[in-house]
A and B are shown apart, each in its own frame.
Chain A
Amino acid sequence: MKKEMTYLDSVHRDGRIWNLSVMVLLLAFPAAVCVIFNVLPQWNSLLMGLIATAPMYWAVGAIETVTYVPMLGAGGSYLSFVTGNISNLKLPCALNALEQNEVSANSEEGEVVSTIAIAISSIVTTIIIIIGVLLIVPLTPILQAPALQPAFDQILPALFGGLGVAFVSKNWKIAVAPAILMLILFIFVPALNAGTVGIMVPVSALFTIGVARIMYKRGAL
């Protein structure tokens, strides 16, 4: 008898179909431009551009996949890795939703909650960008006003301040060691900045898991 498919299995099946289809469609965009305008890429520059860009972003993408999939849940992962803005939008959104609903990320309820939060966030983002594109002429002078610029430059600190309090206050024992380590590293190592924070997320996560494991074994958690 065929085993009944679980909800999670069906999420993986649907997610695979969606993501691979979107990937093919995204690749079809340059192909369509070639056909419509009867032009080919400049192969030499294409290769040089890829060599200069792809290895780093592929490496970051691979690390992000391994780090973020366990946090985002199945449905959330398929959506997030298509729509992007993971650490600055989708993951905080999912974390906040899990907190509000008081469900564990590892439960099926947690999977459902994080998928709902991430889907809503993706839909709202897409719609706001569409509105922005439609109204670009009247909106440009407003949104690019120099007076507002500092506010948009500081989204990440404003986001992680609130999220940090909500999360760290409940788990401060686990948070002390990684917070101190990251503060020292980021303040005193000049190479660590906005561009490299993505690489430090898995480093920090592994360190935190290590510290938490030791504390757990000693019965301190």
Chain B
Amino acid sequence: MEFSVNHPILFVIAGILIAVVLAQSVFFLVKALRRSKQLGMDQKKLKKTMLSAALFTIAPAVAIVISVMILSKSLGLPLPWLRLSVIGSMSYETVAATNTLNAMNETLGASNLTAQQYVTVLTVMTISIMMGIWLVPAIGKKLQKGMQSLSNRDAKWADIFSISLFIGMIAAFLGFVFCDVSRLWTAEDGIVTAIKDGVTVEYSATSGLIPVCVMAVSALIMIICGLLMRKPKLKWLSEYALPISLVLGMASAIPFTMWLG
């Protein structure tokens, strides 16, 4: 059979795998919903949670579609479709493909991939990210048991422990938002060159402030939503607060980039 990166059979295989992953999500959703009924949880509230989760997911998911589009130019459509529907990311897939093709003295996107190049890249991509998918079955239960016994010993500390994990993660991303602020004093003649996804890009000295401004807008909108939500009539805002702050924050990036980029 003659190979092409967009061969129909590749779409069929990717489609089957994605259907299985989708089935897993549906399975766990049904299982958790059944349990919620047994526990007597407020079903109306859970419906709102589901709506909020779905709305919140739209913008990041569209960003993933854009990554699929970019990668499809060099790798065909089925491979990025599958890879970005399971664990992986634009930067990871690019790194894995580049590393493998470099070993064959090829560059990503330079020419049409042969079947052998394709299967080599695909194997590296598949194996190199396969840690969590088996490690969670291997040690997930133990980790959860550890949290449970902590909770049994000292419930208040266990809650603080969980919150500390969340806060720790948020603090790391807060730092990340500020990581390019240093361009203000490292820029030469107002320009900084950096490598992004294997391509050299020029940035202005003030470009590091864009994420900071976007975060500030998003935080401000969340605060406004929080204040509005105190009024009983506007309590419904709670489901939409995070999706609204996400989308408006993203939208604010457009003028900020024009101004500072």
Contact = CB atoms under 8 A, between A and B. Distances in A.
A78 to B, nearest CB: 6
Query: Interface size for chain A: under 10, 10 to 19, 20 to 34, or 35 or more residues?
Result: 35 or more
Contacts of B245: 158, 161-162, 165
Contact of A61 (B66, B131, B249): B131
Given A157-B215, A187-B178, A36 B60 contact: no
Interface string B138-160: 01110110111001000111111
A33 B39 contact: no
B33 interface: yes
A174 to B, nearest CB: 5
Query: Interface size for chain B: under 10, 10 to 19, 20 to 34, or 35 or more residues?
Result: 35 or more
Main secondary structure of the interface of B (DSSP, over half): helix
Contacts of A140: 69
Contacts of A136: 68-69, 72, 77
Interface centre among B68, B115, B163, by most A CB within 10 Å? B163
B135 A61 contact: yes
Contacts, number: 543
A50 B128 contact: yes
A144 B69 contact: yes
Contact of B143 (A57, A70, A78, A193): A70
Contacts of B77: 133, 136
B65 A150 contact: no
A161 B165 contact: no
Contacts of A122: 21-22, 25
Contacts of A60: 131
B53 interface: yes
Given A22-B24, A159-B246, 4 more contacts: A19-B136, A23-B133, A33-B115, A124-B57
